[in-house]
Amino acid sequence: MLQGIARVFAVAAVVVIGAHAHALEPAEDGASAVDWVNSYIGTGGGGSDYGGTMPLVTTPFGMTNWTAQTRENRISVSSYAFEDNTISGFIGTHQPAIWMGDYGYVTLIPEVDDIKTAAASRSLPFSRNDEITSPDYYSVLMDAGASRQIRTEITATDHCGFLRFTFPAHSRASVVVEATRTGVMGFVRVDPAAREIVGYNPDRMDAHLTNIRLPNFKGYFVVRFDKPFVAHGVYAGKALRPAEATAQDPNVGAYVSFEPGADQVVQATVGTSFISIEQARANLRAEVPSWNFDAVRAQLKSIWNEKLTMVSLEGASDDERRILYTGLYHALLYPKLFSEHGRYYSAFDDRVHDGVSYTAYSLWDTFRADNTLLTILAPERIDDMVRALLQDYQEGGWMPKWPNPSYTNIMIATHADSVVAEAINKGFHGFDYQLAYDAAYKDAMTPPEGDTTRDWHDRQPGVPYEARPGLTYYKQLGYVPVDKTAEAASETLEDAYDDFAVAQVAKALGRDKDFRLFIARSRNYRNLYNPARGFMQGRNADGSWARPEDGWTEGDQWVYTYSVLHDIAGLMALMGGPEKFNATLDEHFQGGHNRHDNEPSHHYGYLYDFSGQPWKTQLRVREIARDSYQNRPAGVLGNEDCGQMSAWYIFTAMGFYPFNPVSGNYMIGSPLFRKFTLNLPGGRRFVISAPQNSATNLYIQSARLNGEPLHVPVLTHAQLQAGGLLEFDMGPTPSQWGSSWRAVPLPEFPD
């Protein structure tokens, strides 16, 4: 996701992270899965158009993530960047992606000497040689001057952080807790008897992106220390208030100091909540019941290993293994848990409810592959994740498209429809199908407020939730007109896909009339195809063609002409058949038009499967995987976008990709390794075996599924979930394997 900013291919110096960054050397025998994660991947590259990841210490899907703060985060700036060499604190962050803001965050800063509250004055230098990063643990030594160092170590649970500070002996040791920043009203209170600092931060950085107001929203925290205080105070702005215990001001925080001595280890546990201070304290009691840092770390490592060992590899280099397991780590971070032991604050009706909730669905990105990956690797979460979207619909009126944690109007279309339809088609039953249809039907049929009086341009502040902008025109004309609505050509194509998704939900409920309606509407992509030019092209309200460059979001005619995930057979016929389809696709790749650094191009490498030339798919996906993913800080070609970039790589490594996620089918590419094993729930295993696989043996010569010949470049989700063995015979030259297969076009219904 680029948010309208041109792609900048700024590449940092090639840095392959050595052993100091991880618990084990890359090739050391006995390394557990989590030890292969390189948390630096995606943290470097410069500018605003890099991976945007952070070396987060957190659980899979954890509510609050912990990282060093090398810069003050905001929309378009993450808390950590590999190029930086100073640290101003350690933040419990909820920022899911570089293009989104943070909310309800809290920062802890270990200090010696005088109390310093401003980020610039409290920052301390550090070296990468003194930094360890892992999903379960972070450690760094900061230079405090006068030959003194402060060590900070971090581990975490779902809602809590555990920080261990080692101060230089006999120095004044203090911890500052920053609740809010400049201009943000917050609250802190120091309780020396309880050894606590409590407070809240109501900041929602991207609250301006819709008109919703949440007066009850706050990020609450309880910071508990294992040692008594010898001094404490609060601050507001630049003004310290020594010995005071409470402050409610803008740019507010608190500090505590400890008895100097030889033993200068201070531990702090941080409970976070969006419900209340007492709930933050309850989260601490439930998740960190004792002062045992190593036990919490061991538990977190075990949790990550349990997830990551669902995958095992043979025939991968150390770099490839790091890329793959880091990708799994990134893909299993989002969406984020937003409930707290059976209750959740709703950022849609500003109230507390019973139940389970999630947020940070980067749906424009993740509906394409990451959500599908979760149906395989985290099926136990899918019902709750879908149910959370439906709760948002009940509490706010719509399923969101990019909740952070409330509506933000980021990106286009309503791809929650795809997530719901995919879950239904894959047999998930832990949510109300009728409610799901009501929500998806509203997306498809109800225009947003003021639809024809707003152009709905990207990141428009203070507007209502936009759902499908231009839907009024789409229903009347069969497309969204470029001269009425921003990003209209892209919107039309993505709305057509979501109509296909809504049709599948209708079908599951036996609503045949609605199924036919939405299948017919899913053909609206045809209204943008200009046969004279051989490309998709936006149209004006009077039916005339818009300028070829107008109406797109984060792409152009090359990026969007093949963006018909649900009806490639129909698109191929529209373009004049396989020969023309392939010729334009060849030109797309040979002309450098493929933009794998952004999501609308992620399916392009697999298009040749549909047109009788699957060997070109095998070549292209290998090239993309080789060129777009590396084991270095700048190793993500574009923004990671909540796991979608990684999900593409993981699927491609397996040898297939969810081209049309709703369908439950996977298009076969070229497996990257000799053996890839999925250890599925219930003791089932799905093994992809390609013993002759290599960098040159990239073409499939033949294939077998459970011993039976497989002649089509398609694998179904049911086949995968059943477990079994998918075998590929690989060779150095293209073959005709799979070339006779053709997709079935959408059904036609009589008027």
Percent of the chain with pLDDT over 70: 96
Distance CA 102, CA 621 (A): 35
Task: Give every CB contact of residue 276 below 8 A, 6+ residues apart in sequence.
Answer: 220
At how many degrees (to 10) do helices 370-377 and 416-425 cross?
30
User: Please, what is the average pLDDT of the chain?
Assistant: 94
Q: Is the pLDDT of residue 47 over 70?
A: no
For 138-184, write each residue's pLDDT tens digit.
Answer: 999 999 999 999 999 999 999 999 999 999 998 899 999 999 999 99
Same topology, domains 53-308 and 334-731? Answer is: no
The model's confidence at residue 23, banded by pLDDT at 50, 70 and 90, is: very low
The pLDDT score that the predictor gives to residue 716 is 97
Q: In whole angstroms, give the CA distance from residue 98 to residue 77.
A: 6
The DSSP output letter for 681 is G
Delimit the domains of the chain by residue range.
53-308, 334-731
Average pLDDT over residues 549-577: 96
Q: Which two tokens stand for residue 43?
A: 């943290």
Q: How far apart are CA 88 and CA 79, in angstroms?
A: 10
CB 539 within 8 Å of CB 528: yes
CATH number among 3.10.20.70, 3.30.2080.10, 3.40.50.920, 2.60.120.10, domain 334-731: 3.30.2080.10
Q: Please give the structure tokens belonging to residue 533.
A: 């030019």
Report the CATH fold assignment for 53-308: Beta-galactosidase; Chain A, domain 5 (2.70.98)
Q: Please state, in angstroms and rounded to a whole number, the distance separating the CA atoms of residues 608 and 698.
A: 15
pTM of the model: 0.94
Q: Tell me which DSSP letter residue 74 carries.
A: B
Identity at 21, one-letter amino acid code: A
Q: Which two tokens stand for residue 511?
A: 């609503």
pLDDT tens digits along 377-393? 999 999 999 999 999 99
Q: Would the pLDDT of 29 be above 80?
A: no
Q: What local confidence, expressed as pLDDT, does residue 653 receive?
A: 98
Phi/psi at 666 (5° precision): -120, 135
- The 10s digit of each residue's pLDDT in 108-135 is 999 999 999 999 999 999 999 999 999 9
